[in-house]
Amino acid sequence: MSESSGRRRALRAFGARLRLKASATQYWQILDEALTHDSFAHETGRTKTRARAAAPSNERLEFLGDAVVGAAVADYLYRRYPDEPEGGLSRRRAALVSRTALAGTAQRWELGPLLLLGKGEAAAHGERRPSILASAAEAVIGAVFLGEGFAAACRFVTREHLAHADVG
């Protein structure tokens, strides 16, 4: 985790806003990783080399969060629309897991200022790019999954993403 007390305070405030049940230090480290773009990890030497096992950028958490979001959204739609055929459910799901929808959630969460970006990405205002924001939102959801479990992550997706999205 970034060693600055300001970073820790910002992450704790973020967690409190989103009602995360993060009590363990490890959870905060995972959340910090979720908000670390690969460009920052490369510039600071935090990325993996072929000899090292894991990269502390948000890419792996994004991968995990993408799966959690997909499952949570599919479950939500299946239950909310019991008579909807598969094709309709698929279209709804695609809209809810899209880059646009997830970037909107990230903006509502005010993720941009929390992102650790490399100098080039920061200079190009990467904190505003929908692809970076959507990826960070998925990574945060992946962190919630690791920190609180699948059921809590699904509730989090419902409360913090679906409740604010156009499901109709």
- Residues with a catalytic annotation lie at 66, 138
The 3-class SS string of the chain reads CCCCHHHHHHHHHHHHHCCCCCCCHHHHHHHHHHCECHHHHHHCCCCCCCCCCCCCCCHHHHHHHHHHHHHHHHHHHHHHCCCCCHHHHHHHHHHHCCHHHHHHHHHHCCCHHHCECCHHHHHCCHHHCHHHHHHHHHHHHHHHHHHHCHHHHHHHHHHHCHHHCCCC
